[in-house]
Structure 1
Amino acid sequence: MGSKENNQGLVRNANFQGPRLGGSKFVKEIGHNHRAALSNITNFKREASGNVAAGDKKLSNLGHRPITRRFSAQMIQQCPKESEDVTVTTLVPNASGVREYDQGTKKPSSSTVNPNGFVDCEIIDVEDSEDEDSDAVPMYVKHTEAMLDEIDRMEEDEESEDPIMDIDTSCMKDVLSVVKYIDDIYAHYRKTENQSCVSPSYMAQQPDINEKMRAILIDWLIEVHYKFELMDETLFLTINLIDRFLERQVVVRKKLQLVGVTAMLLACKYEEVSVPIVEDFVLISDKAYTREDVLGMEKSMVNKLQFNFSVPTPYVFMRRFLKAAQSDRKLELLSFFLIELCLVEYEMLKFPPSLLAAAAIYTAQCSLSKFKQWSKTCEWYTNYSEDELQECSRMMVTFHQKAETGRLTGVHRKYSTWKFGYAAKAEPAEFLLNP
């Protein structure tokens, strides 16, 4: 017996008003209205020799598609020499009611009448998929294409979920935000930041001091800055003045601390509203220097620096970039903790202030979120891609790892207090060290 799809079993006459089964094959009666049921109707099959074996031999299907009338016609067209004779095998009842195999030939487009007077049947395919052309796209393929289109749309939506935001919209009415000029201001900072940088190898010109002494001085000044409760801008300008002066002037070892306190005094005069007096710096240095020493060094520094104190430090970029990152208090404190660790390290002088600020925020974001995070908005306002921050960020992670156990722990102690949100207790983003 063939498959249930092609061998429907019982076929009723035209007068039978029964339910139609969807998706089935039906036979259409051409002749008499009263015809005995056929128990089996097989598919057409074309043999190369034009003959098939009689009896109960099963006819095999060609391919996976049932050989319907339409499909048979296409096969005949492809083989015109064999199109005249097509073998048809049907079951017909004889006079005694016994079903017999009737085997004969017929034209593909005509109906035949068997010797018993019954009109042979014609197979009609009522399924829509069989009425379509054989080259039509299957429904499951259409569903797959629709699913792939939906995936593409979802990916586009995900990309559009991270748009570049205008971070100044909420500050339009704030006069101090100078929204109208903010882009020009930071364009000027970018243009002049290289002029405020120093050579990363300037210490080679100092015969009596080295980078380790510089690190000790800056670590101590961070504690002094914290004790005097000065503004953040003051600390960053102090470090900038020290490096720029040491690049231009040879300093002996015993005068290095004097350079530090004098630089902080000058930074306070430039940034602070309430400036500590000279005697405060004399006391904080344990009276190692006199008032005259501080004032003399002040005169020497301003002349060497040509009174140029208006330089972009990492702080001005930090404020802008934190706004682009939509930071909260936790991210802000951790970012400043990381960048202050960099102030101590001489090797970080090779990075411009804007890169240091961007890398500190990026590293802090990764440390808090435990995965790499750098939005398109951050990239737009910092002008640094995530790849450009990797080298500096990895160095920050190593400083973070040894901040508590290293020789200089002033920054770690500062950010381990309640005032600074215990930012130093955050876990380093060690996964950034992996290539």
Structure 2
Amino acid sequence: MMQGRMADENRRPVAAVGKAPLAGVREMGNRRALRDINNLVGAHPYPCAIAKKPMLQKIGGDEQKPAVASRRPRTRMYAASLASKGEPEHQAIGTDAAFEVGHQKEPMEDGTDDMDVELCESTDDTDMHEEHKDSVNDATIMDIDKADSGNPLAATEYVEELYNFYRETEENSCVKPDYMSSQEDINSKMRAILIDWLIEVHYKFELMDETLFLTINIIDRFLEKKVVPRKKLQLVGVTAMLLACKYEEVSVPVVEDLVLISDRAYTRGEILEMEKLILNTLHFNMSVPTPYVFMRRFLKAADSDKQLELVSFFMLELCLVEYQMLKFRPSLLAAAAVYTAQCAISRCQNWTKICESHSRYTIDQLLECSRMMVDFHQKAGTGKLTGVHRKYSTFKFGCAAKVQPALFLLQSEGTT
């Protein structure tokens, strides 16, 4: 019964029920898409359903203006200074002391009040300023989800646990880097040609990024377990894309579209039969962490803008075509793509502590993969397989392919 449901191109697979919330589900009806929340990069804040009014403080029985929030963070040194002045400690929580005490402070002769003097004194204190700066850095370096704490769709309560699970299970999405040696009629060059063509099909159908990465993952996992003749390789490719669409997309291309895009090389029945074979071979497991899920998290840690995002994905998609990149884990590929893109844009090595903390990779661990990406970037516009370069040379993708390669990373290879 499960196979019958999966074989129908108009149904979505039951396996999608177990999918993690951040993998890119599109909106259904009035429900907002989880891919568009701030837990992922580039989304707008989730609007509050109720317009909350600020609390009013009462002074002498009359309502006054809302309490002014102090921009000064509360530190131990600041609290100690308040205690030494004999002022209530709760003033440092974030409300102006004039409203908390219940009367306005008398201005001093020079036009300033006590709070102004206190702020000026603390500003002149270099040691206190440095301690305050360090405390803010220590408090925020690990928390990139603080801005989304009030957004119920951002899953900030368990987003770290979610990515810990991704790391524990990413091994299941990997294949042996030499699996092609077990194939009798196909090789890595044929795989590269197929993937380059699928990237163009993916672009033509305007599918989501998640769909492309899952498509390639399905192909590799299937080819690792089944020997496929050369004439069936394209059939495996289009069927893998159909399955990925059923898992990721809301509007799924019909089988007839895939028949036409493959120049009628296969019939509708052959595609449905291959669909059942792939699903049974992979035990209906479509829930695997691809480089895409890690890329979104690492881009957020890097506080990326649109340019960095597009250049990072350009680097990552260049790796999809290359069979030799299968030796790297999905998380390492994503981290190296962000690092290489940062180097290409800023023209210097740029990998912050927060990027290292969330990716769990140091620059030394990324260099091998990053240098290979620079080499692919340098050669992307030449040769026969230029699908990724043409895609990212368009204005839709910010002409990301035209960014100059970070060649200094290759030059540093001889000195390390």
Q: TM-score range by the shorter chain?
A: 0.5 to 0.7
Structure-1 separation of matches of 2:159 and 2:254: 34
Name the residue aligned to 2:209. 232
Name the residue aligned to 1:368. 345
Structure-2 separation of matches of 1:158 and 1:344: 44
1:281 is matched with which residue: 258, 281, 290?
258
1:294 is matched with which residue: 263, 271, 276?
271
Asked if 1:311 corresponds to 2:288, the answer is yes
Asked if 1:184 corresponds to 2:161, the answer is yes
**What SS does the aligned partner of 1:429 have?**
coil
CA deviation profile, 1:23-71 (whole Å, cap 9, x unmatched): xxxxxxxxxxxxxxxxxxxxxxxxxxxxxxxxxxxxxxxxxxxxxxxxx
Asked if 1:263 corresponds to 2:240, the answer is yes
Asked if 1:169 corresponds to 2:136, the answer is no
CA deviation profile, 1:223-245 (whole Å, cap 9, x unmatched): 00000000000000000000000
Name the residue aligned to 1:246. 223
**What SS does the aligned partner of 1:276 have?**
coil
TM-score (norm 2): 0.66
Q: What amino acid sits opposite 2:210 in the alignment?
A: E
Name the residue aligned to 2:395. 418
Q: What amino acid sits opposite 2:155 in the alignment?
A: V
* CA separation of 1:159 and 1:350: change in aligned 2, threshold 3 A: farther
Q: What amino acid sits opposite 1:258 in the alignment?
A: L
Shift of 1:406: 2.4
Alignment of 1:30-179 (within 5 A): 164-179=141-156
The structure with the greater share of residues assigned to helix is 2
Q: Determine what percentage of the aligned residue pairs are the same residue.
A: 69
1:195 is matched with which residue: 172, 178, 185?
172
1:329 is matched with which residue: 306, 309, 320?
306
Q: What amino acid sits opposite 2:395 in the alignment?
A: W
Structure-2 separation of matches of 1:347 and 1:158: 43
The answer to which structure, 1 or 2, has the higher relative contact order (CA under 8 A, 6+ apart) is 2
CA deviation profile, 1:239-281 (whole Å, cap 9, x unmatched): 0000000000000000000000000000000000000000000
**What SS does the aligned partner of 2:381 have?**
coil
Structure 1: gaps of 5 or more residues? 1-149
Q: Which runs of 4+ in 1 moved over 6 A?
A: 157-163
Structure-2 separation of matches of 1:173 and 1:208: 55
CA deviation profile, 1:101-160 (whole Å, cap 9, x unmatched): xxxxxxxxxxxxxxxxxxxxxxxxxxxxxxxxxxxxxxxxxxxxxxxxx9xx99xx8999
Q: What amino acid sits opposite 2:400 in the alignment?
A: A
Structure-1 separation of matches of 2:258 and 2:229: 20
Structure-2 separation of matches of 1:292 and 1:249: 20
Larger radius of gyration: 1
CA deviation profile, 1:275-317 (whole Å, cap 9, x unmatched): 0000000000000000001001000000000000000000000
Structure-2 separation of matches of 1:237 and 1:264: 8
Structure-2 separation of matches of 1:197 and 1:172: 33
Structure-1 separation of matches of 2:141 and 2:307: 23
* CA separation of 1:378 and 1:397: change in aligned 2, threshold 3 A: same
Alignment of 1:348-387 (within 5 A): 348-387=325-364
CA contact (8 A) 2:142 2:357 kept: no
Shift of 1:176: 2.1
Structure-1 separation of matches of 2:380 and 2:137: 37
Structure-1 separation of matches of 2:154 and 2:393: 31
TM-score (norm 1): 0.63
Shift of 1:165: 4.0
Name the residue aligned to 1:339. 316
Structure-2 separation of matches of 1:159 and 1:221: 49
Name the residue aligned to 1:99. none
Q: What amino acid sits opposite 2:300 in the alignment?
A: K
Shift of 1:175: 2.2
Shift of 1:172: 1.3
Shift of 1:407: 2.0
CA deviation profile, 1:75-122 (whole Å, cap 9, x unmatched): xxxxxxxxxxxxxxxxxxxxxxxxxxxxxxxxxxxxxxxxxxxxxxxx
CA contact (8 A) 2:339 2:351 kept: yes
Structure 2: gaps of 5 or more residues? 1-125
